[in-house]
Structure 1
Amino acid sequence: MIVASLSIVLIVVLLLVEVPVAFAVGAGVIVFALAAGQDLAYLAPSAFQQLGSYALLSAPLFIISGTVMARSGISEAMIRVVDVFLGGRRSGFGAVTVISCALFGAISGSGAAAIAGVGSIMIPRMEAAGYPRSYATALVGCSSVLALMIPPSIPMIVFAMTANLSVAACFLSTVVPGILLAGVYCIYNWRVVRKFPEDPKAAVEYRVRATDVVGALRKGAFALALPPIILGGIYSGLTTPTEAAAISILYAVPVGIFVYRGLTVKELGRTLFDAVVQTGSFVIIIFFLFNLSRLMILEGLPASIAAGIADLSQNRYVVLLLINLVMLVMGMLVDDVSGSILAAVILMPLATQAGVDPIHFAAIVGTNLGLGNVSPPCAPLLFVAVSVGRSSVREVAGPTIRALLCCHLPMTVIVTFLPDLSLALPRLLLDY
């Protein structure tokens, strides 16, 4: 237990001094294994075997799909469709940002990809409409979490594989919470924007004509077809998540080249190269995390944590609150994928012991880790938003915390204590 704790502290310290996640986790794993007397040659083959999982292959494929979409003009066409329906007033620009992040999640499954694809377009537009840049950046960062909750979600793929659960059921568990959270953020934005001083130079209102709607729908038809292709294939049983991810690439590339013309053959090569670099980083992180999770199991860490929390209280609701607190801190320190693996290994045995349905726990993980990923001080997704928005963490921290306290934190509590909210769709569509 002491060795594991020191290794985790080492990882946290390295992350705080901005050591890349893969190297920080790798250093912690090596120190953990050596101090515990475990053989790295014994651990590595098991991790490589897990990396070869067919279900896990969908994650890098969705990374490639999201990268292609962000650079091909598909994301711009999708945002334009949302814009003609919601962007007519000043508060509409924030609503367009929130809904676009949710739609982006229905294609790429990545919060960082949603920030890059939506934030680069909408932050300048919101600022031109009179939004403070700090608030616009915070809204993008908070909304990016919707990409982790609206399927397909890369963290849910990793969680389901690690916990040996149905990927489709885990996907469905966060759909209703994700849709409700998107609505709450839109209402919150409407209330907040009313307090911003009017800028007479900002063109914040325009009249949407029928021709604008028809034009946007015609141009965005190919972009909007992607979510039904992906999700329809998965839930109809025609494709697995991995096959749906591959189909999304085969669809996005020709659409980006021939329909939206945002990709040339040369640009496609660069795009695929960047996607491969992201995938390589993802695989290295996952490899070390698989080793870390196995070390924790071998050293009995999950059982020790479960016993420690059980000693504090036997009350199911108190246990759930403690689990949420641990996940919140976990989400602040590591990215969503890393947090998903650690939650599956460390906290899921405790949750099931407390009588929590595994698919309900998947929804708790997806909702809570998203909250942690944009919560200062570490906030991995918030740092990405700050980079895209060219702002500072100090300026963005205040608007972010207020949005999280008013919107995301209450939704996390609701998801935790109302299991039917997350289990309704799995029961309806999968007879779970």
Structure 2
Amino acid sequence: MAFFFVAILLIVLLLLIEVPVGFAFGVGALAYGALLGTDTSFHTGFGYTQVSAFSLLAIPLFIMSGTLMGASGISECLLDFVNSFVGRFKGGLGAVTVLTCALFGAISGSASAAIAAIGKIMVPRMIKEGYPPGHATALVAVSSVLALMIPPSIPMIVFAIAIRESVAKCFLATMGSGVLLALIYCGLNFWFLRKNETITVEEPLSPRDTMCDIAKTGKRASLAILMPVIVLGGIYSGIATPTEAGAVALVYTLIVGVLIYRTLPFDNLFNSTVEAARLTGSIIMVLFFLFIMSRGMILAKVPTQFAGVLLSISENKIVILLLINLLLLIMGMIIDDVSGEVLAAIILLPVTQKIGLDPIHFAAIVGTNLGLGNISPPCAPLLYMAGGVTKQPLSTYVDPTMKFLVFGHLPMVFIVTFIPPVALFLPSLLG
């Protein structure tokens, strides 16, 4: 197991000096194989077989459809629709940001896409209406994680494949906590801004005008909202696999963006395709090297040894779950969500099996906790991305971010961990 920790340390050091994630994991995987003294071709063959799985084809399909949705201006339609409900209250734009990130997550399945699409629009708008710039940036950062929790979620697809469980059940495992967290963030947003006197609010409309506004914006956003309904409906009804649903999502997006909205000219279409290819390539590269590394870990019995180490500390299930959550938090701070899902599946699944934890419950814990790590300093990849997109200095948004995490996301991690029905109720409906 010592060689494994050497490889992980090497990966972390490479990530800290800003080596691209795929190359960092590649060097770590090859170094691990060399330390074990095994034949590299044996491991690379396994990695190629794993990333060639039909089910992984869902990843580029969902990435492509999400990228095209963002380029077609769908995010603005969603923002206007949500704004028609809550935008004319003090703090309402903050709630619009949270809820739109949740809706956009159901379309793109990507937190970074939610930051790019929603952050560029909403943060300048909130600042213009008197919101503290740090609060606006923090709200976009923490809300982006909802895209990882509300299906279809790209990290959950990867995790389901890694633990050989139903993708549909893993999707639903984090859906309950994602919806609850969205409501909590909305509540915290209103509470934190209750004494702020700089915020300006549009004049409230009459009930009749409000209904007209909702109908008008709802009509424009209806095609965007319909996409996750079609995709998830196809998956949960058994009509389509996640990969087939991803193909349907892509075709649907092209029809809506090119033929109906006509907001996807050739230049945007080409640039979105290139961006989707780049994202897909980076994810597949990371997965390839992680699968190579996992083969060596399994042969060296690292997961079993790791389980033994944790269980030697305590056999109390509550203590073990707390340790697992601590490890997931640290993991989320250092690496991206997809890499974290695979490592969690390889290293921690044997531990959860020893304490009798349902694998779908474990999927919910991993999905909820890694999202927390991705926006928790000092590394916090999603948090820094939000700051880069909104052009705000770190000092302005660290404090409000920590308030959202401590009073919102951290309690949700404990709720999901120690109240299993939050994670298992929706998956149990699938039988």
Looking at structure 2, the residues matched to 391 and 296 of structure 1 have their Cα atoms a distance apart, in angstroms, of: 41
Query: Which deviates more, 107-116 or 387-396?
Result: 387-396
Aligned to 2:28: 28
Please tell me whether residue 63 in structure 1 is matched to residue 63 in structure 2: yes
Q: For the residues of structure 2 that align with 1:9 and 1:204, how far apart are their CA atoms?
A: 52
Worse overlay, 259-268 or 69-78:
259-268
Q: CA deviation at 1:204?
A: 4.6
Query: Is the partner of 2:56 in helix, strand or coil?
Result: coil
Matches within 5 A, 1:242-281: 242-281=243-282
CA deviation after TM superposition for structure 1 residue 7, in Å: 1.0
Q: Is the 8 A contact 2:87 2:96 kept in 1?
A: yes
Give the equivalent residue in structure 2 for 1:327. Answer: 328
Query: For the Cα contact (< 8 Å) 2:97–2:140, is it kept in 1?
Result: yes
CA distance in 1 between partners of 2:198 and 2:333 (Å): 35
1:297 aligns with 2:298: yes
Cα separation, 1, equivalents of 2:109 and 2:267: 26
Which residue is equivalent to 2:393?
392
Equivalent residue number for residue 363 of structure 1: 364
> What is the alpha-carbon distance in structure 2 between the residues aligned to residue 119 and residue 60 of structure 1?
23
Contact 1:90 1:204 in 2 (8 A): no
**Count of aligned residue pairs for this structure pair:** 428
Moved over 3 A (4+): 202-206
8 Å contact kept, 2:332–2:369: yes
Q: Helix, strand or coil for the counterpart of 2:54? A: coil
For 1:385 and 1:176, how far apart are their aligned partners in 2? 25
Instruction: Name the TM-score, length of structure 2 as normaliser.
Output: 0.97
Q: TM-score, normalised by structure 1?
A: 0.97
Identity of aligned residues (%): 50
Give the 5 Å matches for 1:72-111: 72-111=72-111
Equivalent in the alignment of 1:236: 237
Retained in 1: the 8 A contact 2:89–2:201? no
Report the alpha carbon displacement of residue 79 of structure 1 after superposing the two structures with TM.
1.6
2:399 aligned with 1:412 = no
Deviates more, 1:70-79 or 1:363-372: 70-79
**Pairs within 5 Å for 1:160-239:** 160-199=160-199, 202-207=200-205, 209-239=210-240
The one-letter amino acid of 1:351's match is T
Taking the aligned partners of 2:395 and 2:198, their CA distance within structure 1 comes to 25
Q: How far is the alpha carbon of 1:75 from its aligned partner?
A: 1.6
| Range that drifts further, 392-401 or 186-195 | 392-401
Give the Å deviation of 1:332: 0.4
Secondary structure (helix, strand or coil) at the match of 2:19 reads coil
Distance 2:285 2:21 in 1: 9
Amino acid at match of 2:394: V
CA distance in 2, matches of 1:297, 1:138: 40
In the TM superposition, 1:146-161 aligns within 5 A as 146-161=146-161
CA contact (8 A) 1:74 1:260 kept: no
Q: CA deviation at 1:189?
A: 0.3
Shift of the alpha carbon at 1:393?
2.7
Question: What's the counterpart of residue 350 of structure 1?
Answer: 351
Per the alignment, residue 127 of structure 2 pairs with: 127
The one-letter code matched in structure 1 to 2:84 is V
Structure 2: segments with no counterpart, 5+ residues: none
Q: Distance in 1 between matches of 2:385 and 2:263?
A: 24
Q: Deviations over 1:350-391 (max 9, x none)?
A: 012111101000000000001001101111111211111111
What are structure 1's unaligned runs of at least 5 residues? none
Label 1:205 to 1:348 Cα distance change in 2 as closer, same or farther (>3 A): farther
Which residue identity does 2:338 align to in structure 1?
Answer: V
Q: Which amino acid aligns with 1:149?
A: M
